[in-house]
Chains A and B, each alone.
Chain A
């Protein structure tokens, strides 16, 4: 018997057909240039505040190098639940309704794998973080995008959501403030989404990783609305607000039966999040708020400056209410977003992310991260102007 299969045949169908994230060729090109000003990053430009870094060092110094409980250190879960109650108005039992994960990405993966039977549908907004459809597929679910529109401030309207609900819908996945649009949800929409979830008996998964970074109004979580705590999985972490992307700490709070299911997968696949990172995260909650607020203020100022300049440049852009992204329309250039980004990179060595990397709903837009030094933002704007790509034809 001769070997008739190639190695790629060994890869499961649903993984082989899964697209790789983003536009590889474009990013490979970015990485070959050394004088690029990149507005293409998805993380803070701050280093983790020193008190948090120092707690990590202290943790290692004391020899805290063993596993923690599968759910995460109880002291951290207690701090998380108290933080969530204080800032988001939803209360959870740290012993059974909270799990510490390796970033929000793991928390979302656990949630989807716990909730979904093969073929069940998850509605999510698009443009969105690149992992969402892939994570749904990896959990054998069916991704059902709802395109959010610039006219609605990139929020999801109850009508658009209702139109996508079918008997196979299991969950709605929200991400506000949104990567890549910076959109937040007006309270009336949030209530309407909650009502639809209750009416159709759906689970709401809410990724609120950018929630501390809202600039114009108080952030509100759907988890805190009446009758929602029991059907909501609240996902959050430390990466964005506390500038801790590389530490990989996130968490999920939700009904104990669902957390229990998530814990099983986490226990078998991961064991526990890194002990050092958990101790640093605890410090972030206990003493990191002042530094966090300073960083937020710095993003707010850069947002105000950058978005105003983008509009003056000829790239219409809504004032994003949260996160650290501006999402201007490039339709006036007469190009599509991938062409626009490639041309801008080639002509002026400025990297932005084509909106279609975040799903077809992002076509015609580009994502610019303003968590970049003011000097670089100014230089990027000057180069964009010089590129001749930004003035409407």
Chain B
């Protein structure tokens, strides 16, 4: 049941307990308990909204930053990664295979703010070899949601 709950919440974290129960075939109480356990055990870390920033009138900018790092003898990439993760400007951080090591998402109120963060905080961290910053221009899809999907298509109102 927990596996199905996770799948459904991944699709829509605001699905009601009643609907979750209907879909899993469990009772509302069982679903409530299941979710609680998933939260307590740290499988579910939180819930956020998927936004289409293009519809917002603020000037926040988002950058994807590729970072090459020298792994430490003790702790590998972890110590550098954990250190970077503590900056509130960094919203996402993953270790990635390929030509660089860490991929960060950094959010700031202006291009300048992000640039300053990269130059003065990120690049100067011991172990960071290089950074490559790309500013996000437009988002098409996030977490399975297409930002501007097909327009509504008019069907026949009555058909057999």
Listed in ascending order, the chain A residues whose CB lies under 8 Å from chain B are 21-22, 27, 30-31, 36, 38, 40-43, 45, 47, 129-131, 179, 297, 301, 304-305, 351, 353, 357
Contact = CB atoms under 8 A, between A and B. Distances in A.
Nearest to B150: A47
Contact of B23 (A36, A301, A351): A301
B160 A36 contact: no
Given A301-B23, A305-B22, A41 B158 contact: yes
Given A47-B150, A301-B23, A304-B22, A179 B157 contact: no
B118 to A, nearest CB: 37
Given A47-B150, A301-B22, A304-B22, A351 B159 contact: no
Given A21-B160, A22-B160, A129-B160, A43 B153 contact: no
B160 to A, nearest CB: 5
Lowest 5 CB-CB distances: which A-B pairs, in order? A40-B158, A42-B159, A38-B157, A130-B160, A42-B160
B56 interface: no
A390 to B, nearest CB: 21
B158 A30 contact: yes
A305 B21 CA distance: 13
Question: Do most interface residues of chain B lie in helix, strand or loop, or is the interface mixed?
Answer: loop
Interface in B107-160: 150, 153, 155-160
Contacts of B23: 297, 301
Contacts of B156: 41, 43
13 contacts: A21-B160, A27-B158, A30-B158, A36-B157, A41-B157, A41-B158, A43-B155, A47-B153, A129-B160, A179-B160, A297-B23, A351-B158, A353-B160
B123 to A, nearest CB: 41
B159 A41 contact: yes
B7 to A, nearest CB: 11
Interface of B: 22-23, 150, 153, 155-160
Scoring B150, B153, B155, B157 by chain A CB atoms within 10 A of each residue's CB, the highest score goes to B157
A43 B159 CA distance: 8
Contacts of A27: 157-158
Nearest to B22: A301
Nearest to A245: B159
A30 B160 contact: no
Given A41-B158, A45-B155, 8 more contacts: A21-B160, A27-B157, A31-B158, A36-B157, A40-B158, A47-B150, A304-B22, A351-B157
Nearest to A180: B160
B159 A31 contact: no
A21 to B, nearest CB: 7
A145 B23 CA distance: 39
A179 B156 CA distance: 17
B18 to A, nearest CB: 10
Nearest to A41: B159
Contacts of B159: 40-43
Contacts of B153: 47
A45 B156 CA distance: 11
B65 to A, nearest CB: 31
A205 to B, nearest CB: 18
A30 B157 contact: yes
Contacts of B150: 47
Contacts of B155: 41, 43, 45
A296 B153 CA distance: 21
B113 to A, nearest CB: 38
A353 B156 CA distance: 13
Contacts of A357: 160
A380 to B, nearest CB: 13
Given A47-B153, A301-B23, A304-B22, A38 B158 contact: yes
Nearest to B23: A301
Contacts of B160: 21-22, 42, 129-131, 179, 353, 357
Nearest to A179: B160
Contacts of B157: 27, 30-31, 36, 38, 40-41, 351
A389 B23 CA distance: 32
Scoring B150, B155, B156, B160 by chain A CB atoms within 10 A of each residue's CB, the highest score goes to B160
